[in-house]
Amino acid sequence: MDLKDRITEDMKAALRAHQAERLSAIRMLLAAVKQREVDSRTDADDAAVLAIVEKLIKQRKDAIAQFEAGGRADLVAKETAEISVLSAYLPQQMTEAEVGAAVDAAIAELGAVGPAAMGKVMGLLKPRLAGRADIGQVSALVKRRLTG
């Protein structure tokens, strides 16, 4: 079963179980997937769905920071609940040691030296680590390794 089908089945289960918050988050995800399919005129594969999930989680994290600054604990709780629902569709996250090893392997594979090679290293790492690591943190680590 592909990821999109799993999400649809989870939506049906949440509907049957009367889980309003979970249902809302899953419907929002399915709407984003459908929008991507309409925009690109293709069916979304698992990689595209993962990219959408990551984007939605990032949006929720940004919103949480804004709501915390505004003192809106109720909205922080709502966004946090949505993140927990969305995170269930991501693959197992890599540990810091695994990410470090992947970065070192990519740098060695390309023979990358200096900050100018950062784009090449990131281009190699992004598809390998998609959904399994925070790309922002990977980017910071690559920058440290290439400049240090």
Q: Out of 60, 87, 114, pick the residue that ends a domain.
A: 87
Same domain, 77 and 105: no
Domain that holds residue 11: 3-87
Same domain, 29 and 73: yes
**pLDDT tens column, 50-103:** 889 989 999 999 999 999 999 999 999 999 999 999 999 988 888 889 999 999
Q: What is the pTM of this model?
A: 0.77
Per the structure block, which two tokens stand in for 48? Answer: 């595209």
Count the domains in the chain: 2
CB neighbours of residue 13 within 10 Å: 13
* 10 class by beta-carbon count within 10 Å (0-12 exposed, 13-18 middle, 19+ buried): buried
Same domain, 13 and 83: yes
Distances (CA, A) of 86 to 46, 62, 123: 14, 15, 26
**pLDDT tens column, 8-54:** 999 999 999 999 999 999 999 999 999 999 999 999 888 889 889 98
Same domain, 42 and 82: yes
Same domain, 67 and 115: no
DSSP 26: H
What CATH code is carried by the domain that includes residue 133? Answer: 1.10.10.410
Same domain, 118 and 135: yes
Same domain, 59 and 125: no
